[in-house]
Structures are given as structure tokens and as C-alpha cells.
Amino acid sequence: MTEEGPTIDSQPALITPSGRPRRVGLLAGSGRFPFIFADAARSQGHSVFCMGVLGNVEHELADHCDGFMTAPLTRIGKAIRVFKREKIDTVGMAGKINKTFMFDPLLAVRHVPDWRSIHMWFRYARENKKDDTLLLAVIREFARDNIKFQSALEFCPEILVKHGFLTKRKPSPSQWRDIKFGWEMAKEIGRMDIGQTVVVNQTAVIAVEAIEGTDKAIQRSGELCKRGGFTVVKVAKPQQDMRFDVPTIGLQTIQTMHEAGGRVLAIESEKTIILDEPDVIDLANKLGIVIVALNAEELRLRLAS
């Protein structure tokens, strides 16, 4: 973005200089990631106050936090006031935020924005409504009140997938070709901030993830490629900001692939979150699904040999 706004480059430490734990905030969407973040932070002695995005967050998360409230995504001002009241100046963002509410025909009635949200949209997100644009706009609006966002992964770096074959099965030569083809496509749609996932079969693109999310893109692939056997490639954006929208897979990803007919899942090592990794690997092995975590350099060398 070219418009001036509060800096987002300086990222405060989540531990005080004295080494003492601190109060941290959690801006939470849906899924398991907010639970993992909250449990990890509290296990390290931190106090966690959660502001959940209404319509996305699971209310059971309250049992994993020291404080819990919800607010619509269009009430940024409320979230800022609450975090300031709780004396929180560092926040982690975790969980999926559903953007489809923007296309609600009753948007103006059901999601009335407060003044801080209006300011955020017109100052920082007027150009477009891409994921990066919107989430960076949120970060910039919070920064106006000296509330900084830090990568939630600093509390639980172990959930980033390591390099290598995760399952007993490995890709066949034709599946490696699909992985390479899909990787290039996925990186390009990531660069354009459309999505992070491409589904491929025989070097043909079956589906591209957009606002609907990974699972629905996989389901659509099963409808379009009824014989199954397709490959799902999920990567980080070339410009990936690890504070938000980090590519994530979990048990539901594997179950959806199985139901749709997917056979291979290729993900980017060190830049993809696997939630409940042992269970994910166990399920994939039982269902005969390949999971491989690699990087672009390895993929280039493997296919050149």
C-alpha cells in the first residue's frame, strides 16, 4: 500500500525485556488454531484475553482463555477499546475469517460498522478487498492506538510443518509432475492474493481456491473430476506475512480429500500449519493419501534429475 499510515514493520516481543510473561491479546476466527495459540501461551505463563470474531469464533474457546468477548468484524472500534481497557498492547491473530459476509444482501442492517471500521475501510482498504489488504488494514487501524500484531506462531512454532514425506506413501512420477505444475500455479494465485490452493490432475487445473476456502475448492474438484486421483497443492504466498493467513491444513482437509477423491496433498515446508499433526498423518495413512512437505528449490532439483 502506498498510502501513509502507522508503521507495521516493528514487531514487539511477546516477552517483556525482563523475561517476565505478559498479557497478550488474541483476535480469533474459526478452527483449531486459536485453541492451540491460547493453550500454548498460557502454558508459558502468559495471560490471554480473546476477542473473537462473531460468526466465526467457537465459544468453547472461552474455556481456554483468561478473558473472552466477541464482536462483529465490522466493530473494530470495540475490539480496540477492549484491548486497551485490558492493558494489552500485543495481539496475535489466529483462525479463519469468513469474508462472505461482505456479500450479504442485508449487510448494512446485519453488520453495521462503527466509526473505526469505516475509517479503516476508507483509509486502508479502499483500493480492493483482497485478504492481505483487509488484514493489513486491521493491523494499521490497531496500530493507531499503539496495539501491535505479532505472529501467533511465536508461541507454537512446532505446528509449522517440517520438510519431508509425512506419510508412508510417496508421490508417483506423474503425481510429481502435477505437484510441480500446481506449485507454480498456486504461487501465482498467491502472488495475486486470490488464494493459496490449486487442485490438479494430469497437469490440468481442476479448481482454484478463492473466497470459499480450501475445503470447498476440494469438494468442487470432486464434482468436476469424478474419477478422483487428483493432487492438492497448498503453498504460502510469495509475500506471505506470517502474522496472518498462514496456509493451514487439518483433519478436515484430509477427510474432505478422501470424500472428493483426492490422492496427494503437497504443502510448503516451514510455512504451512498442520493442526493435530499426528492425527492428520494417521488418518492420511489409513485413507491412502500422500502428504509431502517440500520447498521450491527441492522441487526444482527433483524434477531436473
Dump pLDDT digits (tens) for 8-54: 333 444 444 445 568 999 999 999 999 999 999 999 999 999 999 99
Kindly give the parts of the chain with pLDDT less than 50: 1-18
In this prediction, residue 12 carries a pLDDT of: 43
Nearest CA-CA partner of 53 in 67, 70, 38? 70
272 close to 161: Cβ distance less than 8 angstroms = yes
Strands 204-208 and 197-201: antiparallel
In this prediction, residue 107 carries a pLDDT of: 63
Strand order across the 90-94 sheet:
67-71, 47-53, 23-28, 90-94, 148-150
User: Could you give phi then psi for residue 250, rounded to 5 degrees?
Assistant: -160, -165
Nearest CA-CA partner of 260 in 193, 207, 190, 195? 207
CA dist 305 and 301 (Å) reads: 6
In this prediction, residue 67 carries a pLDDT of: 96
Mean per-residue pLDDT over the chain, rounded? 90
Q: Which domains are assigned to the chain?
A: 23-154 (3.40.50.20), 160-304 (3.40.140.80)
List the grid coordinates of 227: 474419477
List the grid coordinates of 202: 494430469
> What's this model's pTM, rounded to 2 decimal places?
0.88
